[in-house]
Amino acid sequence: MAVITFANTKGGAGKTTAVLLLATELARKGYRVAILDADPQHWITRWHEISGDVPNLEVIDFVTSASLPLHISENSEAIDYFIIDLPGARNPLLATAIGLSDHVLIPIQGCAMDARGGAQVLELLQYLDEKAGIKIAHSVVLTRVNSMVTTRALQLVKSLLSQRNVPVLDTAIIERSAFRDIFDCGGTLHSMDPARVSNLDRARENALCFVEEIMRKVPVRLPAAARLAGLLMRDAA
């Protein structure tokens, strides 16, 4: 079991899109995934309502600081990956979720406002390390990156992160129409119609690279279904 939190205190950083890509791709690989939707906009919950049943994936809505630990403890045996989508603001949920996390992902677009929102999360992680000796693995994921153009703002963000020795994922989330359309259409990248969504194959490839990099950083040995099958076989023997 692993807990991954997506956090940036500024809204519009591409956080919820990154959450959805990670969750649906992990579920497609056979892992049992629970998204804890703590964002007051409830975009993930709305997506789930129009999507219907998505195999291996459940969404828990109206998550609070008090209920978050309970959701994780009560479902720890059945879930491989808990993915927490936090509000795009600084509130008590931030510290609670970070304290429960195996890895914190900080989505940042190539702009100064996103960088400041991400810096607040990094400051909290540093505070926990220095004052309490609690080290929590974390990475920045660059989002909504133009596949053709590297802007000055993005170059500046990359430079600042490098100067501060902040780990940045090799895989950036590219700006793709499929990543926007999925919230209107429901389902996953693999249920969308390639004839109606431009560059869908590239969107799928980008999402897969992103997820595989996360899996290397936050490995889970076996999907829950595979573990259950192994237990049944052992009991039968």
pLDDT digits (tens, 9 = 90+) for 140-176: 999 988 766 555 656 766 777 777 788 888 898 999 9
- Strand order of the sheet with strand 81-85? 57-60, 33-37, 81-85, 2-6, 103-108, 137-142
pLDDT at 11: 78
pLDDT tens digits along 218-236: 998 655 544 444 444 444 5
- pLDDT at site 9: 86
Please check whether residue 83 is in contact with residue 35, taking contact to mean a CB–CB distance below 8 angstroms: yes
- Supply the pTM of this predicted model: 0.88
Q: What rounded mean pLDDT belongs to the chain?
A: 87
Exposed e or buried b per residue across 76-115, where buried means at least 16 C-beta atoms within 10 angstroms of its C-beta:
eeebbbbbbbbbbebeebbebbbbbbbebbbbbbbbeebb
pLDDT at 88: 83
Predicted pLDDT at 12: 78
| The pLDDT of residue 237 is above 50 | no
Mind listing the pLDDT tens digit for each residue in 97-140? 999 999 999 998 866 666 778 888 989 999 999 999 999 999 99
Q: Give the pLDDT of residue 151.
A: 59
Q: 18-45 burial, b for 16+ CB within 10 Å, e for fewer?
A: bbbbbbbbbbbeebbbbbbbbbeebbbb
The encoded tokens of residue 139 equal 């990475």
The Cα–Cα gap between 15 and 56 comes to 21
* Whole-number pLDDT of residue 194: 92
Q: Exposed, middle or buried by CB within 10 Å (0-12, 13-18, 19+), for 6? A: buried
Nearest Cα neighbor of 124 from 2, 217, 7 is 7
Q: Which domain holds residue 43?
A: 2-236
- As for how many domains the chain has, the answer is 1
Secondary element (H or E) of residue 48: helix 43-51
CATH code: domain of residue 39: 3.40.50.300
Statement: residue 89 has pLDDT above 50 = yes
d(CA 32, CA 27): 6
CA angle 229, 232, 236 (to 5 degrees): 140
pLDDT at residue 173 in the model:
93
> What is the reported pLDDT for 71?
97
Q: Residue 130's CB: how many other CB atoms inside 10 A? A: 9
Rounded Cα gap, residues 90 and 99, in angstroms: 15
The string of pLDDT tens digits covering residues 35-67 is: 999 999 999 999 999 999 999 999 999 999 999
